[in-house]
Amino acid sequence: MSQPVDERGPIDAAHFADEIAAGYRPVVLRGQAAAWPAVEAARRSDAALVDYIAALDSGRPTELLVGPPEIGGRYFYDDGLSGCNFQKRSTTVTGLLNHLLGQGDGGQSAALYAGAAATDAVLPGWSEANPIGFDLPTAQARVWIGNESHVATHFDESSNLMVVVAGRRRVTLFPPEQVDNLYLGPLHLTIAGPPVSMVDVAKPDLERYPRYAEAVRHGFHAELEPGDALYIPPIWWHAVHAQGRLNVMVNHWWAEPGSRSALAAMIATLRAVRDLPPAHRQAWRHWFERMVFDDEASTMADHLPGHARGYVGPPSPARDAFLRSIDGAPPGRSS
C-alpha cells in the first residue's frame, strides 16, 4: 500500500521556500486556497462557478482533448501504441464549462479535458483575484477543466503547485528513482510532452508489469478537495484522477532561473553515449560523474582564472551571460 502525503495547513512565502520546496518531497497544503472567490463559487454550485469563470473569460480559444465514452476519461495511447485514444479540438473556456454543466450526472459522456491554458490569456485577472499566498516569480497560473479524467503517471521537469478549485482529485505519486518499476512509455511518442508510465494505476496489470508492486511500496497518495493545494517537486512521478462531471484545477509550474531541459539533454546523451563500446562509454561516465553529478563539480576549473572557466565555472551572472552568448554554438576545436 502507498502512504499518505505529508500535510500542512496554509503557509506563507518564507515557510514554503524553507520547509516545503527545500525538502524535495510532495506536501499537501490543506486549505491553502480556501478563501479564493473561485473556490467559494464552486462550493455554492457548479452553475455559480461557471458564472464566475465566464465573467473572466477573454474568449480566446484553448486546446481541448476529446475522447469517446469508452476510454472512461483515461487519456492514453491507442491499442496499437501508434497514437493516442483521443482527438484534439479547440474551444473557449465558457463554451466547455456550459457543455459540461449541461451533461448532467447520468449516462455515458465523451471525455473532455482542456489543460494548461495560461490564465493570463484565457482568464485575465484570475491570479490577482485568486492569489496563492506567496510569490513564485517565474510561475504562471494555468487552468485545467474537464469531466472525470485519469491522467497517466508522468513527471514534470519543473516544480509544480496544483490547486483544486472544483471537484475532487486523487493524486498518486512515486519518487524519481521508481522509474525502473513504472515501465516507461516511448520517449519519442508522448501523450502531452513528458514520458508516461504504461501502468494504469486504477487497474494495474501485475502479470504484465510485475515490478509495479514494488513501486507501490514506495508510493504516496493524496486526496484533494476544493481549496487544497499540492506541491510536487520536479521529476516526481504523479498520476491524477479528477472526479465529477465538472472539475477545475489551477497549477503553477516554475523552474530554476536559467535552467534548460534535462530530459532533452539526457536524450541527446543517450544518442551520443549509450551505444559506444564499453571502455569508451566508461570513460565518459567518469566525465559525467566529475563534471555534473559530483558535489564538487563546480570546482573542476578552479585552477583557471575566472574569465576562462566558461561552461565549467560555478553559477554566477557572468557564467549565465557567457552561456547565453554561445547558446547553440558548438564548442571550439583545437585541431
Q: List, as one string, the DSSP characters of 212-256.
A: HHHHHHT-EEEEE-TT-EEEE-TT-EEEEEEEEEEEEEEEEEE--
Q: Please tell me which residue, 112 or 317, carries the higher pLDDT value.
A: 112
Question: Quick check: 328 pLDDT over 60?
Answer: no
Question: Quick check: 79 pLDDT over 50?
Answer: yes
- Determine the number of helices (DSSP H) and then strands (DSSP E) in the chain: 10, 13
Gap between the Cα atoms of 9 and 1, Å rounded:
25
Residues 11, 135: contact at Cβ < 8 Å?
A: no
Residue 147 pLDDT level (bands cut at 50, 70, 90): very high
Average pLDDT of span 242-261:
90
Separation of CA 55 from chain center: 28
Average pLDDT of span 270-284:
96
Residues 134, 21: contact at Cβ < 8 Å?
A: no
Separation of CA 8 from chain center: 21
Average pLDDT of span 58-75:
96
Average pLDDT of span 55-74:
97
Question: Quick check: 334 pLDDT over 50?
Answer: no
Question: Quick check: 329 pLDDT over 70?
Answer: no
Question: Quick check: 107 pLDDT over 70?
Answer: no
Average pLDDT of span 313-331:
72
- Give the pLDDT score at 331: 46
> Over the chain, what is the mean pLDDT?
92
Residue 6: CB atoms within 10 Å: 14
Q: C-alpha cell of 333?
A: 576545436
Q: In 3-state terms, the chain is what percent helix, strand and coil (to 5)?
A: 30, 25, 40
Domains of the chain, CATH where assigned: 3-254 (2.60.120.650), 276-325 (no CATH)
Question: Quick check: 335 pLDDT over 80?
Answer: no
Gap between the Cα atoms of 282 and 292, Å rounded:
15
Residue position matching grid coordinates 552568448 = 325
- Give the pLDDT score at 324: 74
